[in-house]
Amino acid sequence: MTLLLKLVLAPLLVVGSSLAGRRWGDRVTGVLVAFPIVAGPILLIISVEHGVAFGARAAAASLLGLVSLAVFAVVFAYAGRRWRWPGALAVAWLATGLADIVLAGQSLAAGWALLLVMATIWAGRRLVAVIDEGPSSAGTVRSPWWDLPGRAVATAALVLFVTGIAATAGPVVTGILAPFPIATSVVAGFVHAQQGAPAVIRTMAGVLHGLAGFAVFCFLISVLLVPAGVGLAFVVAVAGVLVSQAALVLARGRRPAVGGPAR
């Protein structure tokens, strides 16, 4: 059963979010990719395989991993204006790896880690908003036939790798690696190659928007997994993602537009 989850659940979620993003645009792509569509299945699998205490510690560490994911989004958005996607991806991965190395040595309670993530998301959104040129123009770019299969394979490989090293790496390193931007990297690379820097900036803005719900998910898993068990903890965490993202969308919709597109 756990092998089936590793090979099917996360890849299907990535493919589904990619299809929805193609239908509704760059920002939606970024928001959906930033949902816990990879880290969620990873945390579920390691909680089943290694116990709820292990899973709770990994979820708390994943909050710190989201700081690195926010770093990736900001660096890729800026680097993509100067370099083609391979160079931008290399620089963003380097920045993410350095952030992971620093964060792996830290130990923060889930509440403090949540505050750190939210502050990082806020700062990242401000930085990307400076270079965000607004809504995409009409029209779509046809993706190659191997686009979706490639995303699914990359996602399955990440899930197998992270869950495979969990026992050796421990909950902290496993948790930090769970949000590593594999799916985000694939999406960012394709968007940059096919649509250019402005589209990838909008996508990274969507990623930063979606990270708030991701953070709520990890926080709820970390505090509920031990007392509530796997089933209830994940149900509440998924509900928390949906509620928090809906609240952000409503708040953004009520914000008055002043001289440009909403951020």
Question: Cα 220 vs. chain centroid, distance in angstroms?
Answer: 16
User: 133 phi and psi, to 5 degrees?
Assistant: -90, 5
Alpha helices in the chain (DSSP H): 2-4, 10-24, 26-33, 39-50, 52-79, 85-104, 110-129, 147-164, 166-177, 182-195, 197-228, 230-254
Q: What is the pLDDT of residue 143?
A: 65
DSSP string, 128-149: HHTT---SPPS---PPPTTHHH
Q: Which residue has the tokens 């926010």?
A: 70
Q: What is the pLDDT of residue 257?
A: 41
Q: What is the pLDDT of residue 220?
A: 93
How far apart (Å, rounded) are the C-alpha atoms in residues 99 and 88?
Answer: 17
Contact 58, 196 (CB under 8 A): no
Question: Cα 247 vs. chain centroid, distance in angstroms?
Answer: 19
How far apart (Å, rounded) are the C-alpha atoms in residues 151 and 189?
Answer: 11
Contact 124, 74 (CB under 8 A): yes
Q: What is the pLDDT of residue 128?
A: 92
Name, in order, each residue with C-beta under 8 angstroms of 194's C-beta and a sequence gap of 6 or more: 141, 143
Q: What is the pLDDT of residue 209?
A: 83
* Tokens read off for 139: 């029209």
pLDDT in tens, the chain (263 residues): 555 665 666 677 677 766 766 676 656 666 666 667 677 777 888 888 888 998 888 888 888 888 989 999 999 999 999 999 899 999 999 999 898 888 877 777 888 889 999 999 999 999 999 988 765 544 455 666 676 787 778 777 777 776 676 567 666 666 777 667 777 777 788 788 878 888 889 889 888 888 888 899 999 999 999 998 988 999 999 888 888 877 766 766 555 443 333 32
* Tokens read off for 62: 């994943």
Give the SS3 label for residue 201. helix
Q: What is the pLDDT of residue 2?
A: 56
Q: What is the pLDDT of residue 25?
A: 64
Cα–Cα–Cα angle for 250, 211, 207, nearest 5°? Answer: 90
* Tokens read off for 116: 């750190």
Name, in order, each residue with C-beta under 8 angstroms of 236's C-beta and a sequence gap of 6 or more: 220, 224, 228
